[in-house]
Amino acid sequence: MTTETILRVTGLRKQFGPVKALDGVSLEVRAGEIHSLLGENGAGKSTTIKCITGAYKADAGEVLLDGVAISPQSPREAEQLGIGTVYQEVNLLPNLSVVENIALGRMKTGFLGRIDWKHSRVRAKAALDKLGVSIDLDEKLSALPVALQQMVALARALDVDSKVLILDEPTASLDEKEVESLFQVMNRLRESGIGIVFITHFLEQVFRMSDRMTILRNGKYVATREAKGLSREALLQDMLGKAFEEMQGRPGNLNTFSEGLSGKENRLVVNGLGAPGKIKRLDLKLKPGEVVGLAGLLGSGRTECARLVFGIDGATGGSIELDGKAIRQGHPRTSIDEGIMLASEDRKTEGIFPNLTVRENMVVALQTRRGFFKPISKEEGDRIARKYIDAFKIKTSGPEAKISELSGGNQQKVLLARWLAAEPKALILDEPTRGIDIGARAEIEKLIESLSREGLSILMISSEMDEEVRCCHRVLILRDREVIGELSGDDVSESEIVKLIAAHA
């Protein structure tokens, strides 16, 4: 293996408004290596890639390809320079043929712009051969399985003499067999001397495939590590930004509360819930007032669990019981009627009604629970809204303000109020503190505690492990879409969670 550096990125900076997305990111990729780019949500992986390929213009920093400074104005130009990129979502044209997809935008043209298809076919064939796959060039793209579509995307990225290939979560939509064949192709490309930048959330794949890895956190460069001999603990510490010693234990009162639960009947029982590509198997028991956390890295299947339990996605197997009664799955409406509710992580697309008022946003779930013909009068809605505005200290000009005029944290509180107003028995909170300031975070944590004391069962998901440690009586640990362990009592601590995530399967 050569050790010649083919792509060198130094001091990359990029700011969006007041937000520093990248703050001095560096990356060095050698020819003939697979180099993983790692980091949690918001670490800056995608932004880094976009700055390298010219999709974004970096505010500062340098990109050297083969020792020559480049500043491509578009991904297309980057491709011509030798940096090919394949994105998570296959962004090809489904109704065109394989050869058209590979050749599009770079076709050799002759007299009066006539396209030289012969030439395009030869080059497409060569690119596919390089990958070691054979696909009928005239097949319509949409007729191919996703994995082969991905190969076409790869062939497109490789059509020119690529030196660097960037793979942004290429395995996310593939099954195990498909992942294997992608890995074979990656190995083949590595041997041919291409430098591969590999982005994935699956730690198994990172350790299996990469030679080295660069870790980013909050837009900053953390470290570059050799994969050989690197412990998972060390990697997680880099990613999460905490040494084990700094990781917090938990408040003692959580344990005493848990002890009081032992005699009570289960509120929510989830048995063997699963769906391919989402989560392998989820077993879960929640007692009244119990707060259980789902911990794991991004992509470990936390949100998928929440969506399956709530019924927004359909499960292929398993059962859900609430207070001993079986719940029909796959129907959010039924879940809400029975008292299982989900405050989604995606406030904007799955939460707020931007043009409706604070009051309307708060009562909508209660209204669906009551049904068409028992409307919540404006007066009653107003009472509900004022109650929660006071209780949660929501900053708004009043119940009739448009919710989109509120800050993110206050919108989040309105959404919490929406679910609490609908009187849930079991509430799933997916990233309840994402994108809100520290003060509001502390308030929401306090709120979770008081809800728990009132007997509400809560399933909580948070990327901030310390938050789960402070709030949850028990924590289930997920890795690669599977529950791999459980912590309770004094064992609930950030370091234990990290150890479990890091442990080999």
Partner 1 sequence: MSTVSKRNWRENPLIWPTAGLALVVAFNLFFGAEFFSISIQDGHLYGNLVDILSQGARVMLLSLGMTLVIATGGVDLSVGAVMAIAGALVAALVERAGLGFFVAFPAAMAVSMLLGVFNGSLVVFARIQPIIATLILMVAGRGVAQLITTSDVIIFEDPVLEFMGQGYLLGIPFSLWLVAAIFVGMVLLIRKTAIGLLIEAVGDNENASRFSGINASQLKLIVYGVCGLLAGLAGVLEAASLSAADPIKSGELRELDAIFAVVIGGTALTGGRFLLLGSILGAILLQALTVTLYNVGVPAAVAPVPKAIVIVAVCLLQAPRFRTQISKIVGLRRGK
> Dihedral, CA atoms, 90, 96, 102, 103, nearest 10 degrees?
-140
3-state secondary structure 437-487: CHHHHHHHHHHHHHHHHCCCEEEEECCCHHHHHHHCCEEEEECCCCEEEEE
Strand duo 483-488 + 474-478: pairing: antiparallel
Using the rule CB under 8 A, which residue among 130, 369, 434, 470 binds partner 1?
Answer: 369
Residue 185 engages partner 1 in binding (rule: CB under 8 A) = no
Using the rule CB under 8 A, which residue among 262, 373, 379, 438 binds partner 1?
Answer: 373
Burial of 283 (0-12, 13-18, 19+ CB in 10 A): middle
Q: Give me the least distance between CB of 462 and partner 1, in Å please.
A: 19
Using the rule CB under 8 A, which residue among 33, 168, 211, 360 binds partner 1?
Answer: 360
Whose Cβ is closer to partner 1: residue 184's or residue 404's? 404
Whose Cβ is closer to partner 1: residue 418's or residue 473's? 418
Return the half-sphere exposure (C-beta side, CA atoms, 13 A cut-off) of residue 71. 9
Residue 38 host element (H or E): strand 34-38
Cβ-Cβ contacts under 8 Å for 19 (sequence gap 6 or more):
none
Token pair 């509710």 in the structure block, residue:
341
Whose Cβ is closer to partner 1: residue 40's or residue 360's? 360
Residue 227 engages partner 1 in binding (rule: CB under 8 A) = no
Q: Give me the least distance between CB of 410 and partner 1, in Å please.
A: 17
Residue 485 engages partner 1 in binding (rule: CB under 8 A) = no
Strand duo 457-461 + 474-478: pairing: unpaired
Q: Give me the least distance between CB of 377 and partner 1, in Å please.
A: 9
DSSP secondary-structure letter at 352? -
Please count the residues of the chain.
Answer: 505
- Tell me the per-residue interface mask from 289 to 328 with partner 1, x by CB under 8 A, - otherwise: -----------------------x----------------
Using the rule CB under 8 A, which residue among 363, 447, 492, 497 binds partner 1?
Answer: 363
| Contact range with partner 1 by CB under 8 A, out of 162-170, 246-254, 320-328, 347-355 | 347-355
Cα separation of 96 and 113, whole Å?
20
Strand duo 212-217 + 60-65: pairing: unpaired
Residue 349 engages partner 1 in binding (rule: CB under 8 A) = yes
Q: Give me the least distance between CB of 305 and partner 1, in Å please.
A: 16
Cα separation of 420 and 402, whole Å?
20
Whose Cβ is closer to partner 1: residue 137's or residue 342's? 342
Helix (H, G, I), strand (E, B) or coil at 70: coil
Using the rule CB under 8 A, which residue among 20, 242, 370, 425 binds partner 1?
Answer: 370
The neighbouring-strand residues paired with 269 are 285, 321
Identity (one letter) of the amino acid at 199?
I
Task: Enumerate the H helices of 393-437 as residue ranges.
Answer: 408-421
Size of the site for partner 1 (CB under 8 A): 31
In the region spanning residues 408 to 427, those forming contacts with partner 1, defined by CB under 8 A, are 418
Whose Cβ is closer to partner 1: residue 369's or residue 473's? 369
Residue 111 engages partner 1 in binding (rule: CB under 8 A) = no
- Give the tokens for residue 158: 């490789």
Identity (one letter) of the amino acid at 127?
A
Residue 330 engages partner 1 in binding (rule: CB under 8 A) = no
Whose Cβ is closer to partner 1: residue 181's or residue 368's? 368
Whose Cβ is closer to partner 1: residue 280's or residue 331's? 331
Residue 59 engages partner 1 in binding (rule: CB under 8 A) = no
Whose Cβ is closer to partner 1: residue 216's or residue 415's? 415
Q: Give me the least distance between CB of 314 and partner 1, in Å please.
A: 13
User: What is the binding site for partner 1 (CB under 8 A)?
Assistant: 312, 332-333, 335-337, 342, 344, 349-356, 360, 363-365, 367-376, 418
